[in-house]
Structure 1
Amino acid sequence: MQAFAELLDRLVLTPSRNGKLRLIVSYFRSAPDPDRGYALGALTGDLDLKSIKPAAIRELVTDRMDPELFRLSYDYVGDMAETVSLVWPGERRANRPPPLAEIVEALDGVTRPEAQRLVANWLDGLDPTGRWALLKLITGGLRIGVSA
Protein backbone atom coordinates (compact mmCIF):
# COMPACT_ATOMS: atom_id res chain seq x y z
CA MET A 1 0.00 0.00 0.00
CA GLN A 2 2.85 2.37 0.73
CA ALA A 3 4.23 2.24 -2.82
CA PHE A 4 0.72 2.72 -4.23
CA ALA A 5 0.13 5.65 -1.87
CA GLU A 6 3.38 7.27 -2.99
CA LEU A 7 2.37 6.77 -6.62
CA LEU A 8 -0.99 8.48 -6.04
CA ASP A 9 0.63 11.33 -4.14
CA ARG A 10 3.14 11.93 -6.92
CA LEU A 11 0.49 11.64 -9.66
CA VAL A 12 -1.60 14.33 -8.01
CA LEU A 13 1.40 16.66 -7.87
CA THR A 14 2.69 15.96 -11.39
CA PRO A 15 1.16 18.28 -13.99
CA SER A 16 2.51 16.78 -17.21
CA ARG A 17 1.05 13.76 -18.97
CA ASN A 18 4.51 12.37 -19.76
CA GLY A 19 5.57 12.78 -16.15
CA LYS A 20 2.50 10.86 -15.00
CA LEU A 21 3.22 8.10 -17.53
CA ARG A 22 6.81 7.78 -16.26
CA LEU A 23 5.55 7.44 -12.69
CA ILE A 24 3.01 4.79 -13.67
CA VAL A 25 5.53 2.79 -15.70
CA SER A 26 8.02 2.92 -12.85
CA TYR A 27 5.39 1.71 -10.37
CA PHE A 28 4.28 -1.19 -12.58
CA ARG A 29 7.88 -2.29 -13.14
CA SER A 30 8.55 -2.53 -9.43
CA ALA A 31 5.18 -3.53 -7.92
CA PRO A 32 4.58 -7.20 -7.18
CA ASP A 33 1.60 -9.15 -8.40
CA PRO A 34 -1.28 -8.93 -7.47
CA ASP A 35 -0.73 -5.34 -6.24
CA ARG A 36 0.07 -4.36 -9.82
CA GLY A 37 -3.28 -5.64 -11.08
CA TYR A 38 -5.27 -4.03 -8.29
CA ALA A 39 -3.46 -0.74 -8.86
CA LEU A 40 -4.30 -0.86 -12.57
CA GLY A 41 -7.94 -1.51 -11.72
CA ALA A 42 -7.97 1.37 -9.24
CA LEU A 43 -6.34 3.80 -11.66
CA THR A 44 -8.73 2.92 -14.50
CA GLY A 45 -11.83 2.89 -12.30
CA ASP A 46 -12.41 -0.81 -12.89
CA LEU A 47 -11.63 -2.02 -9.36
CA ASP A 48 -14.95 -3.03 -7.85
CA LEU A 49 -14.24 -2.42 -4.21
CA LYS A 50 -16.86 -2.50 -1.51
CA SER A 51 -16.82 1.19 -0.73
CA ILE A 52 -17.09 2.62 2.73
CA LYS A 53 -19.42 5.58 3.04
CA PRO A 54 -17.96 8.93 4.12
CA ALA A 55 -20.37 8.91 7.07
CA ALA A 56 -18.71 5.73 8.36
CA ILE A 57 -15.28 7.35 8.06
CA ARG A 58 -16.57 10.42 9.90
CA GLU A 59 -17.92 8.15 12.64
CA LEU A 60 -14.56 6.40 12.96
CA VAL A 61 -12.63 9.63 13.36
CA THR A 62 -15.10 11.33 15.71
CA ASP A 63 -14.94 8.27 17.98
CA ARG A 64 -11.24 9.07 18.40
CA MET A 65 -11.20 12.85 18.52
CA ASP A 66 -13.40 15.76 19.46
CA PRO A 67 -16.23 15.99 16.88
CA GLU A 68 -16.11 19.80 16.89
CA LEU A 69 -12.37 19.83 16.22
CA PHE A 70 -12.93 17.43 13.34
CA ARG A 71 -15.77 19.58 11.96
CA LEU A 72 -13.58 22.68 12.05
CA SER A 73 -10.68 20.82 10.45
CA TYR A 74 -12.91 19.47 7.70
CA ASP A 75 -14.34 22.96 7.10
CA TYR A 76 -10.82 24.27 6.67
CA VAL A 77 -9.37 21.44 4.54
CA GLY A 78 -12.50 20.71 2.50
CA ASP A 79 -11.74 17.07 1.63
CA MET A 80 -12.77 14.18 3.88
CA ALA A 81 -9.88 11.86 3.01
CA GLU A 82 -7.29 14.60 3.35
CA THR A 83 -8.72 15.82 6.65
CA VAL A 84 -8.88 12.36 8.21
CA SER A 85 -5.41 11.46 6.97
CA LEU A 86 -3.98 14.54 8.67
CA VAL A 87 -5.89 14.46 11.97
CA TRP A 88 -6.16 10.69 12.56
CA PRO A 89 -4.99 10.23 16.16
CA GLY A 90 -3.96 6.59 15.85
CA GLU A 91 -0.68 5.34 17.16
CA ARG A 92 1.89 4.46 14.54
CA ARG A 93 2.64 0.84 15.18
CA ALA A 94 5.67 -1.16 14.29
CA ASN A 95 3.39 -3.09 11.92
CA ARG A 96 4.24 -3.04 8.26
CA PRO A 97 1.85 -1.14 6.04
CA PRO A 98 -0.52 -3.64 4.40
CA PRO A 99 0.02 -4.46 0.73
CA LEU A 100 -2.66 -3.16 -1.63
CA ALA A 101 -3.76 -6.74 -2.38
CA GLU A 102 -4.31 -7.43 1.33
CA ILE A 103 -6.64 -4.44 1.61
CA VAL A 104 -8.66 -5.28 -1.50
CA GLU A 105 -8.99 -8.96 -0.60
CA ALA A 106 -9.83 -8.29 3.06
CA LEU A 107 -12.70 -5.95 2.13
CA ASP A 108 -14.23 -8.52 -0.21
CA GLY A 109 -17.28 -9.99 1.47
CA VAL A 110 -16.95 -8.51 4.97
CA THR A 111 -19.78 -6.93 6.90
CA ARG A 112 -19.92 -3.17 7.30
CA PRO A 113 -18.87 -3.22 11.00
CA GLU A 114 -15.97 -5.55 10.18
CA ALA A 115 -14.92 -3.28 7.30
CA GLN A 116 -14.89 -0.29 9.66
CA ARG A 117 -12.72 -2.20 12.15
CA LEU A 118 -10.29 -3.15 9.38
CA VAL A 119 -10.11 0.42 8.12
CA ALA A 120 -9.41 1.77 11.62
CA ASN A 121 -6.57 -0.75 12.05
CA TRP A 122 -5.08 0.15 8.67
CA LEU A 123 -5.33 3.87 9.41
CA ASP A 124 -3.44 3.25 12.66
CA GLY A 125 -0.60 1.59 10.77
CA LEU A 126 -0.20 4.06 7.90
CA ASP A 127 1.44 7.46 7.60
CA PRO A 128 -0.67 10.44 6.38
CA THR A 129 0.03 9.73 2.69
CA GLY A 130 -0.94 6.08 3.13
CA ARG A 131 -4.09 7.04 5.04
CA TRP A 132 -5.07 9.50 2.29
CA ALA A 133 -4.60 6.87 -0.44
CA LEU A 134 -6.50 4.24 1.55
CA LEU A 135 -9.43 6.57 2.15
CA LYS A 136 -9.57 7.69 -1.48
CA LEU A 137 -9.50 4.05 -2.58
CA ILE A 138 -12.20 2.77 -0.23
CA THR A 139 -14.58 5.71 -0.57
CA GLY A 140 -14.45 5.63 -4.36
CA GLY A 141 -12.99 9.13 -4.56
CA LEU A 142 -9.85 8.26 -6.51
CA ARG A 143 -9.62 11.22 -8.89
CA ILE A 144 -5.96 11.86 -9.51
CA GLY A 145 -5.75 13.29 -13.00
CA VAL A 146 -5.23 10.02 -14.88
CA SER A 147 -7.66 8.74 -17.49
CA ALA A 148 -7.83 5.20 -18.80
Structure 2
Amino acid sequence: MRAFSRLLDDLTYTRSRNAKLRLIGEYLRSAPDPDRGWALAALTGEMDIPSVKPSMIRALAEEKIDPVLYKISRDFVGDSAETLSLLWGPEGHDDVRLADAVEALQAASRSDAPAILAGLLDRLDASGLYALITLAIGALRVG
Protein backbone atom coordinates (compact mmCIF):
# COMPACT_ATOMS: atom_id res chain seq x y z
CA MET A 1 0.00 0.00 0.00
CA ARG A 2 2.96 2.33 0.58
CA ALA A 3 3.89 2.44 -3.10
CA PHE A 4 0.27 3.03 -4.14
CA SER A 5 -0.27 5.74 -1.52
CA ARG A 6 3.00 7.40 -2.61
CA LEU A 7 1.71 7.34 -6.21
CA LEU A 8 -1.55 9.01 -5.14
CA ASP A 9 0.36 11.68 -3.17
CA ASP A 10 2.66 12.34 -6.12
CA LEU A 11 -0.27 12.56 -8.55
CA THR A 12 -2.08 14.99 -6.26
CA TYR A 13 0.87 17.38 -6.17
CA THR A 14 1.85 17.09 -9.83
CA ARG A 15 0.25 19.54 -12.24
CA SER A 16 1.56 18.41 -15.60
CA ARG A 17 -0.46 15.76 -17.42
CA ASN A 18 2.70 14.27 -18.93
CA ALA A 19 4.38 14.12 -15.52
CA LYS A 20 1.31 12.34 -14.13
CA LEU A 21 1.41 9.82 -16.97
CA ARG A 22 5.11 9.27 -16.29
CA LEU A 23 4.39 8.63 -12.59
CA ILE A 24 1.65 6.15 -13.43
CA GLY A 25 3.91 4.39 -15.93
CA GLU A 26 6.73 4.13 -13.40
CA TYR A 27 4.36 2.69 -10.81
CA LEU A 28 2.89 0.15 -13.22
CA ARG A 29 6.37 -0.98 -14.31
CA SER A 30 7.56 -1.47 -10.74
CA ALA A 31 4.41 -2.83 -9.03
CA PRO A 32 3.98 -6.58 -8.81
CA ASP A 33 0.93 -8.40 -10.13
CA PRO A 34 -1.89 -8.26 -9.05
CA ASP A 35 -1.23 -4.88 -7.33
CA ARG A 36 -0.62 -3.33 -10.75
CA GLY A 37 -4.02 -4.49 -12.02
CA TRP A 38 -5.90 -3.28 -8.95
CA ALA A 39 -4.15 0.10 -9.16
CA LEU A 40 -5.08 0.44 -12.82
CA ALA A 41 -8.70 -0.48 -12.03
CA ALA A 42 -8.79 2.10 -9.23
CA LEU A 43 -7.20 4.85 -11.33
CA THR A 44 -9.63 4.28 -14.21
CA GLY A 45 -12.69 4.16 -11.95
CA GLU A 46 -13.39 0.50 -12.71
CA MET A 47 -12.99 -0.84 -9.17
CA ASP A 48 -16.04 -1.59 -7.08
CA ILE A 49 -16.00 -2.66 -3.46
CA PRO A 50 -19.71 -3.08 -2.72
CA SER A 51 -19.30 -3.88 0.97
CA VAL A 52 -17.79 -0.46 1.78
CA LYS A 53 -19.93 2.66 1.59
CA PRO A 54 -19.33 6.22 2.86
CA SER A 55 -21.91 5.68 5.62
CA MET A 56 -19.88 2.73 6.92
CA ILE A 57 -16.74 4.89 6.94
CA ARG A 58 -18.59 7.56 8.96
CA ALA A 59 -19.83 4.93 11.43
CA LEU A 60 -16.28 3.57 11.84
CA ALA A 61 -15.01 7.10 12.44
CA GLU A 62 -17.62 7.77 15.08
CA GLU A 63 -16.78 4.50 16.88
CA LYS A 64 -13.07 5.28 16.97
CA ILE A 65 -13.11 9.07 17.36
CA ASP A 66 -15.22 11.40 19.48
CA PRO A 67 -18.18 12.27 17.20
CA VAL A 68 -17.98 16.00 17.98
CA LEU A 69 -14.24 16.08 17.23
CA TYR A 70 -14.82 14.16 14.01
CA LYS A 71 -17.61 16.49 12.85
CA ILE A 72 -15.65 19.66 13.63
CA SER A 73 -12.53 18.25 11.98
CA ARG A 74 -14.48 17.06 8.95
CA ASP A 75 -16.04 20.49 8.53
CA PHE A 76 -12.60 22.12 8.75
CA VAL A 77 -10.73 19.68 6.49
CA GLY A 78 -13.57 19.24 4.02
CA ASP A 79 -12.90 15.59 3.19
CA SER A 80 -13.99 12.55 5.19
CA ALA A 81 -11.14 10.30 4.03
CA GLU A 82 -8.49 12.89 4.84
CA THR A 83 -10.06 13.67 8.21
CA LEU A 84 -10.24 10.02 9.19
CA SER A 85 -6.69 9.34 8.02
CA LEU A 86 -5.40 12.14 10.25
CA LEU A 87 -7.48 11.23 13.32
CA TRP A 88 -7.52 7.41 13.16
CA GLY A 89 -4.95 6.87 15.88
CA PRO A 90 -1.37 5.74 16.26
CA GLU A 91 0.19 5.19 12.88
CA GLY A 92 0.63 1.61 11.90
CA HIS A 93 4.00 0.55 10.64
CA ASP A 94 3.03 -2.50 8.63
CA ASP A 95 2.63 -2.52 4.92
CA VAL A 96 -0.47 -4.07 3.44
CA ARG A 97 -0.32 -5.22 -0.16
CA LEU A 98 -2.85 -3.42 -2.31
CA ALA A 99 -4.12 -6.73 -3.68
CA ASP A 100 -4.57 -8.20 -0.20
CA ALA A 101 -6.60 -5.20 0.96
CA VAL A 102 -8.81 -5.10 -2.14
CA GLU A 103 -9.42 -8.85 -2.18
CA ALA A 104 -10.25 -8.93 1.55
CA LEU A 105 -12.74 -6.09 1.18
CA GLN A 106 -14.31 -7.46 -1.99
CA ALA A 107 -14.83 -10.85 -0.35
CA ALA A 108 -16.32 -9.31 2.80
CA SER A 109 -20.01 -9.21 3.52
CA ARG A 110 -21.52 -5.89 4.54
CA SER A 111 -21.61 -7.09 8.15
CA ASP A 112 -17.94 -8.19 8.15
CA ALA A 113 -16.55 -5.26 6.16
CA PRO A 114 -16.28 -2.74 9.04
CA ALA A 115 -14.09 -5.05 11.13
CA ILE A 116 -11.95 -6.01 8.15
CA LEU A 117 -11.50 -2.39 7.09
CA ALA A 118 -10.70 -1.29 10.67
CA GLY A 119 -8.09 -4.05 10.93
CA LEU A 120 -6.45 -2.90 7.71
CA LEU A 121 -6.55 0.76 8.75
CA ASP A 122 -4.90 -0.05 12.08
CA ARG A 123 -1.86 -1.34 10.17
CA LEU A 124 -1.32 1.70 7.92
CA ASP A 125 0.25 5.13 8.21
CA ALA A 126 -1.75 8.28 7.40
CA SER A 127 -0.99 8.16 3.66
CA GLY A 128 -1.93 4.50 3.49
CA LEU A 129 -5.13 5.19 5.44
CA TYR A 130 -6.12 7.92 3.01
CA ALA A 131 -5.32 5.75 -0.02
CA LEU A 132 -7.28 2.77 1.28
CA ILE A 133 -10.33 4.80 2.31
CA THR A 134 -10.57 6.66 -1.00
CA LEU A 135 -9.96 3.44 -2.90
CA ALA A 136 -12.60 1.53 -0.93
CA ILE A 137 -15.35 4.09 -1.48
CA GLY A 138 -14.35 4.83 -5.07
CA ALA A 139 -13.42 8.44 -4.44
CA LEU A 140 -9.97 8.64 -6.02
CA ARG A 141 -9.36 12.10 -7.45
CA VAL A 142 -6.00 12.39 -9.12
CA GLY A 143 -6.73 14.72 -12.04
CA contact (8 A) 1:81 1:135 kept: yes
CA contact (8 A) 1:52 1:139 kept: yes
Secondary structure at the counterpart of residue 106 of structure 1? helix
Separation in structure 2 between the aligned mates of residue 110 and residue 93 of structure 1, nearest angstrom: 22
- Counterpart for residue 31 of structure 1: 31
The RMSD of aligned alpha carbons is: 1.3
TM-score normalized by structure 1?
A: 0.91
- Counterpart for residue 61 of structure 1: 61
- Counterpart for residue 130 of structure 1: 128
Identity percentage of aligned residues: 52
Separation in structure 2 between the aligned mates of residue 41 and residue 65 of structure 1, nearest angstrom: 31
- Counterpart for residue 116 of structure 1: 114
- Counterpart for residue 102 of structure 1: 100
Separation in structure 1 between the aligned mates of residue 22 and residue 51 of structure 2, nearest angstrom: 29
Separation in structure 1 between the aligned mates of residue 53 and residue 47 of structure 2, nearest angstrom: 17
In structure 1, give the amino acid aligned to 2:31.
A
Separation in structure 1 between the aligned mates of residue 58 and residue 106 of structure 2, nearest angstrom: 22
TM-score normalized by structure 2?
A: 0.94
Shift of residue 51 of structure 1? 5.1
Q: Work out the number of aligned pairs and report it.
A: 143
Secondary structure at the counterpart of residue 104 of structure 1? helix
Write the deviation string for residues 104-140 of structure 1: whole angstroms up to 9, x where unpaired: 1112232112111111111111111110010100111
Unaligned runs of 5+ in 1: none
